[in-house]
């Protein structure tokens, strides 16, 4: 599925929730079901430091597609991480570089990407793009 | 609580009428900044609408009125803190600038080998400027450790004091925990070895009556915005002879007596330490905030807030798996806590959805978090315009958040 289609899918999924509580309960359960990151990548080399919650992110290139795995010490952050991974993982570097994050606004979580939210998510997206850029260079080489 | 009309007081704060995420705002982040009563907001608007002019220079009527209002605010601060002379009140941009003004000045006063004592429970603003001073001058920093429930280890403090001690810096109240330090005793002990003392009053000046002359403190700093006043304004108090000995932190206009390219002589206090055009509207509004607080009375505020603290502490302690940090006997209405197995950020995020504003994180006091070996806490800090009903909403919200996160 393309990033656009994946994002549309996420938007439709979040549209089902009528109030904030259902939405956050969903995020929490997404956070809990996020596949574990390989422990070797849960080190300071892979950490994205927010002021409050930490995010670990690893990207690998598998058969032209970027595969992201991640973790966070806060469960809501982990839920959002899981949404971001669903949107950007298994896509080509080119697609990731061209993608935007408007869907975050559409699902009503843009607060978490504002600079006041010290949760490392803005940096996480930047880091995903950096991975994509590196893999793109690798593919073009 | 009979004589404390919180319903009437809440009417004075327009922001308390607003909603957040569709719920009535429950503001419990008062240790970060207090809300502003209409009188303070009016003072700012009135100044710009009627008086705006630069101070201390113009011969015209507006400038004279602005100067009079500005100096009047200085006298209000002087009287509020029981300060001997108005020129001992230096207006700053806030507590941080006040501390930096003193720390910077002592670069040329201290010698290598001299010692500065700080506490483990300081805000970063009362640690970093002294570290910078030590790096530059070669003085060393000694640290008074905390004890389990927040109070500083006074036994170690006594041992750290020596004839090498030149400055002791400590907060009156810890921003992260609310612990009240026995500053009178600490000041007296420092004076016995000839050291001077700087007290960070940012977390105490709107909660505990502060008599600076009675304390015999050498320097005292605080921020207007924690006292219902505007942001960007604070005050540095110093004993006159110490302020006179302090080299200026910033050069510029206002602070000079005479400038030639050969030499500049500095103005008298307080102007020597108030370079440039100050935050005139802010200072005048600080004066209005002091009038407002004084009208209610700091002692009455302290008593009411203590009742809120007792009520909230009891309710928090009934929640399973909840740990309060700094649960000592002498504290202001600050509740710093964690729920077992839950990240503070998650709780803060869910409370925000319910219109409840608390602070989560390390509260710019990482050494305290290191002491407890935690990444951060959830901090609810109460003010005199909070109510028991709001505490009930907060406690229910907290229980709801905790149950959402633990299922």
Please state, rounded to an integer, the average pLDDT across all residues of chain B. Answer: 95
What pLDDT was estimated at residue A125?
87
Q: Does A76 contact B376 at a Cβ distance shorter than 8 Å? A: no
Between helices A75-88 and A20-33, what is the axis angle to 10°? 80
What pLDDT shows up at residue B2? 47
Task: Judge: B404–A25 Cβ closer than 8 Å, yes or no.
Answer: yes
pLDDT band at B98, cuts 50/70/90? very high
Residues in A closer than 8 angstroms to B343, CB to CB, are: 53, 73-75, 77
pLDDT for the residue numbered B31: 98
Once rounded to an integer, what is the mean pLDDT over residues B179-186? 98
Query: Is residue B399 within 8 angstroms of chain A, CB to CB?
Result: no
Q: Which chain B residues contact residue A119 at CB under 8 A?
A: 345
Residue for token pair 């505490």: B391
How high is the pLDDT of residue A117? 61
- Tell me which chain B residue has its CA closest to the CA of residue A78: B346
Position B257 confidence tier, pLDDT thresholds 50, 70, 90: confident
Residue that has been written with the tokens 């001992």 in this structure: B88
- Are residues B123 and B171 in contact, defined by beta-carbon separation less than 8 angstroms? yes
Give one word for B146, left, alpha or beta, with left for phi > 0 and alpha for psi -120 to 50: beta
Q: Residue B62 pLDDT more than 70? A: yes
B contacts of A76 (beta carbons < 8 Å): 345-346, 349-350
> Are B350 and A74 in contact (CB < 8 Å)?
no
Instruction: Say whether B102 sits in a helix, a strand or coil.
Output: helix
Cβ within 8 Å, pair B361-A77: no
Cis upstream peptide for B227 (omega within 30°)? no
H or E element, residue B23? strand B23-24
Packing angle between helix B388-406 and helix A20-33, nearest 10 degrees?
Answer: 40
Nearest CA among A28, A87, A55 for reference residue B342:
A28
pLDDT per position as a tens digit, A98-140: 998 888 888 888 777 665 665 667 788 889 999 999 999 999 9
Whether the predicted pLDDT of B1 surpasses 60 = no
Q: At what angle do helices B388-406 and B344-353 cross, to 10 degrees?
A: 120
pLDDT value of position A118: 57
Question: CB-CB: which of B21, B345, B404 is closest to A74?
Answer: B345
- Lowest model confidence (mean pLDDT) among B56-60, B159-163, B201-205, B375-379: B56-60
Reported as a pLDDT band with limits 50, 70 and 90, residue B59 is: confident
- Contact present, B49 and B257 (Cβ < 8 Å): no
Architecture of the domain defined by A3-140: Alpha-Beta Complex (3.90)
State the pLDDT at residue A50: 65
Whole-angstrom Cα distance, residue B367 to residue B130? 15
Pairing of strands B256-259, B264-266: antiparallel
∠ CA(A115), CA(A93), CA(A69), 5° rounding?
65
Task: Report whether pLDDT(B69) > 80.
Answer: yes
Select which of A51, A60, A118, A133 is catalytic: A51
Interchain contact B95–A (C-beta under 8 A): no
pLDDT for residue B348: 94
For range B360-371, the mean pLDDT: 90
Q: Is residue B151 scored above 70 in pLDDT? A: yes
One-character DSSP codes across B40-63: HHHHHHHIIIII---SSS--SHHH
Q: What is the pLDDT of residue A121?
A: 74
Q: Does pLDDT of B306 surpass 50?
A: yes
* Pair of tokens at residue B336: 């710093």
Q: Nearest chain A Cα to B355, which residue?
A: A20
Residue bearing tokens 């009188």: B39
What are the distances in angstroms from CA B91 to CA A109, A131, B71, B129, B352? 42, 50, 10, 19, 35
User: What residue segments make up the domains of chain A, in order of their start?
Assistant: 3-140
Residue B360 has pLDDT above 60, yes or no: yes
Is there a contact between A74 and B21 if contact means CB atoms under 8 Å apart? no
Residues B32, B41, B128, B364: which is the catalytic one? B364
Q: Under a CB-based contact definition with an 8 Å cutoff, are residues B99 and B133 in contact?
A: no
Q: What b-and-e string marks burial along B361-397, b requiring 16 or more CB atoms within 10 Å of the CB?
A: bbbbbebbbebbeebbbbbbbbbbbbbeebbebbbeb
Two structure tokens written together for B374:
């935690």
Q: Please name every residue paired with A68 in a beta bridge, in sequence order, or none if there are none.
A: A59
Q: What is the pLDDT of residues A70-98, one digit of tens each?
A: 999 999 999 999 999 999 999 999 999 99
Asked whether residue B144 carries a pLDDT value surpassing 70, the answer given is yes
What residue ranges define each of the domains in chain B, with the CATH number in brackets? 6-30+297-406 (3.90.1150.10), 41-295 (3.40.640.10)
pLDDT of residue B149: 94
pLDDT in tens, B187-231: 999 999 999 999 999 999 999 999 999 999 999 999 999 999 999
User: Do residues B338 and B384 lie in contact, with contact meaning Cβ atoms separated by under 8 Å?
Assistant: no
Residue B223 confidence (pLDDT): 98
Helix (H, G, I), strand (E, B) or coil at B109: coil
- State the virtual CA torsion across B141, B145, B150, B154 in degrees, nearest 10: -100
B204 neighbors B180 (Cβ within 8 angstroms): yes
**Count of residues in chain A:** 141
A51 flagged as catalytic: yes
Q: Do A77 and B345 touch (CB under 8 A)?
A: yes
- Which H/E stretch holds residue B25? none
| B294: phi then psi, degrees, rounded to nearest 5 | -65, -30
Across the range B387-393, mean pLDDT stands at 98
Q: Residue B159: which of B117, B96, B196, B114 has the closest Cα?
A: B117
Helix%, strand%, coil% for chain B, nearest 5: 45, 20, 35
Residues B120 and B143: their CA atoms lie apart, in Å, by 6
């Amino acid at each position: 599925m393309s990033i656009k289609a994946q994002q549309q899918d996420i938007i439709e999924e979040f549209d089902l929730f009528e109030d904030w509580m259902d939405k956050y309960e969903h995020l929490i359960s997404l956070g809990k079901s996020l596949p574990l990151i390989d422990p070797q990548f849960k080190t300071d080399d892979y950490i994205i430091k927010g002021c409050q919650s930490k995010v670990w992110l690893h990207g690998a290139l598998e058969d032209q597609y970027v595969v992201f795995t991640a973790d966070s010490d806060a469960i809501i952050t982990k839920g959002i991480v899981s949404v971001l991974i669903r949107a950007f993982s298994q896509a080509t570097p080119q697609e990731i570089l061209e993608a935007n994050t408007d869907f975050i606004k559409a699902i009503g979580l843009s607060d978490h990407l504002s600079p006041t939210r010290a949760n490392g998510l803005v940096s996480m997206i930047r880091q995903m793009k950096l991975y994509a850029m590196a893999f793109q260079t690798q593919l073009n080489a | 609580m009979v004589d404390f009309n919180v319903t009437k007081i809440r009417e004075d704060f327009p922001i308390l009428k607003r909603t957040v995420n569709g719920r009535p705002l429950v503001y419990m982040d008062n240790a970060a900044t207090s809300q502003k009563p209409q009188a303070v907001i009016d003072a700012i608007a009135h100044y710009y609408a009627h008086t705006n002019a630069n101070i201390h220079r113009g011969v015209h009527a507006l400038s004279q009125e602005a100067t009079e209002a500005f100096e009047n605010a200085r006298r209000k601060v002087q009287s509020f803190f029981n300060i001997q002379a108005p020129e001992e009140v230096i207006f700053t941009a806030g507590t941080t600038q006040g501390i930096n003004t003193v720390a910077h000045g002592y670069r040329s006063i201290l010698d290598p080998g001299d010692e500065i004592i700080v506490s483990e429970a300081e805000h970063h603003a009362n640690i970093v400027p002294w570290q910078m001073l030590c790096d530059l001058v070669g003085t060393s920093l000694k640290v008074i450790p905390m004890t389990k429930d927040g109070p500083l280890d006074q036994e170690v403090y006594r041992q750290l004091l020596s004839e090498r001690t030149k400055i002791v810096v400590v907060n009156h109240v810890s921003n992260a925990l609310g612990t009240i330090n026995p500053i009178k005793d600490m000041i007296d002990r420092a004076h016995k070895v000839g050291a001077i003392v700087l007290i960070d009053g940012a977390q105490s000046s709107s909660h505990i009556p502060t008599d600076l002359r009675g304390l015999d403190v050498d320097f005292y700093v605080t921020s207007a915005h924690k006292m219902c006043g505007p942001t960007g304004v604070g005050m540095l108090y110093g004993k006159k002879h110490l302020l006179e000995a302090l080299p200026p932190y910033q050069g510029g206009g206002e602070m000079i007596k005479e400038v030639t390219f050969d030499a500049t002589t500095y103005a008298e206090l307080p102007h020597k330490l108030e370079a440039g055009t100050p935050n005139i509207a802010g200072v005048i509004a600080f004066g209005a905030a002091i009038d407002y607080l004084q009208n209610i009375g700091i002692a009455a505020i302290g008593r009411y807030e203590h009742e809120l603290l007792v009520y909230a502490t009891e309710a928090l302690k009934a929640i399973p798996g909840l740990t309060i940090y700094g649960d000592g006997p002498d504290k202001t209405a600050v509740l710093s806590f964690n729920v077992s197995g839950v990240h503070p950020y998650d709780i803060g995020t869910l409370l925000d959805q319910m219109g409840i504003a608390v602070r989560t994180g390390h509260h710019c006091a990482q050494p305290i978090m290191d002491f407890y070996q935690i990444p951060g806490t959830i901090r609810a800090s109460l003010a005199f315009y909070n109510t028991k009903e709001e505490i009930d909403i907060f406690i229910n919200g907290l229980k709801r958040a905790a149950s959402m996160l633990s299922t």
